[in-house]
Structure 1
Amino acid sequence: MTNSSETLLAYYAERQVAPQWRGFLAAIAVELFENVGPEPARGFLRQTGLRLASQSPLSPSTTLEDLQAVANQALAQMDWGMVSLRDIGTAVEIRHEAGPWRIREDRAGAWPAAFAALLEGLYTGWMRGQGAGETLVARLDLDASENEVVLRFARAA
């Protein structure tokens, strides 16, 4: 990715979070991670994502391409970026781009981790809503990318 592309993505990503919510989201993410600890905070945020998925279920899909299309429609309504889904054999790779995870006020860097955990729950819920088993979960792939959230939907470890 070129520098101008990175700058453009950063601009659009930050614009997705309304100014009145930026400081609040940054502060709540830091407080969650510091006061309850990283794993309980991630668990809480995953549960919140599962609840979002149940409140905004996707229409039934028969193919991964159809699922990607309905997920992108739902994400567009939330102004939460876009997703691409790919079968990689042992998992479904979920690449979420242009999401609202960059907040200038987030000096501690907690909001991107919070948003990623929220997405883990959201995609787990959406996939289960399509008939995936309860033993399958979406989990962050920390080594995959700096410019997008990459998750693997597979059997829980």
Structure 2
Amino acid sequence: MSTTNVQYYESQQCSTQWKAFLRAFSTEFASKGDISDLRAFMHQMGRTMAQEFSIGDGSSLSALEDSINQIWFQLNWGWAEIAEEADSLVIVHHVSPLKVAFGEDALTWSPALLEGIYAQWFDSLGMDKTLRLSQRKAALEEGQLFVFELKKQIEEPSYFTRR
């Protein structure tokens, strides 16, 4: 996509009435803790936000993807693709408004909002408690694409069980 197309698209992603507030929020929020704390807070915010929306049908990956995308389309938050890999389920979230809303500097912590939303939705479907949803890579495509994976959590043995 050309830079002009990206700039135009980004200008349409976030309501003008909220841009100044969200940027100020982002600046102040980022100054209040380290990245892991900011991500933990945004993850929890995402879980809370997800409870506002019922994802409905989780009977197949295709039905789940359709249900999730109905919500994203209503919110103008892009769309998701879900794919099965050998050891995980991968969620690719396209054209997220996070960069536009919070700024490019926030891309280290703001995707945890989406992570929390997806985690809550999978929990609501009865996800196995040994599975964990997390962001796989840093933001891609100029902050417009995020990749998450749902996979079995590998627990580190504690100091006492390693002997």
**TM-score range, shorter-chain basis?**
0.7 to 0.9
Higher relative contact order, structure no. (Cα contacts within 8 Å, ≥ 6 residues apart): 1
* Corresponding position of 2:105: 109
Cα deviations by residue, 1:37-77 (Å, 9 ceiling, x for unpaired): 21111111100101111221210321111100000001111
The root-mean-square deviation of aligned C-alpha atoms, in Å, is 2.2
Count how many residue pairs are aligned between Structure 1 and Structure 2: 152
Would the aligned equivalents of 2:35 and 2:108 in 1 still touch at CA under 8 Å?
Answer: no
Would the aligned equivalents of 1:120 and 1:137 in 2 still touch at CA under 8 Å?
Answer: no
Q: Normalising by the residue count of structure 1, what TM-score does the alignment of the two structures yield? A: 0.84
* Corresponding position of 2:10: 13
Q: Please state whether the residue corresponding to 1:85 is helix, strand or coil.
A: strand
Would the aligned equivalents of 1:13 and 1:99 in 2 still touch at CA under 8 Å?
Answer: no
Unaligned stretches of 5+ in structure 2?
155-163
- 1:55 matched to 2:58? The reply is no
**Matches of 2:123 and 2:101 in 1, distance apart?**
34
Q: How does 1:5-154 map to 2 (within 5 A)?
A: 7-103=4-100, 106=103, 109-110=105-106, 112-142=107-137, 145-146=140-141, 147-154=144-151
Q: Please state whether the residue corresponding to 2:30 is helix, strand or coil.
A: helix
Shift of 1:33: 2.4
> Percent identity over the alignment?
26
Q: Normalising by the residue count of structure 2, what TM-score does the alignment of the two structures yield? A: 0.81
The residue type paired with residue 150 of structure 1 is V
Pair 1:104–1:77, CA change in 2 (3 A): closer
Unaligned stretches of 5+ in structure 1?
none
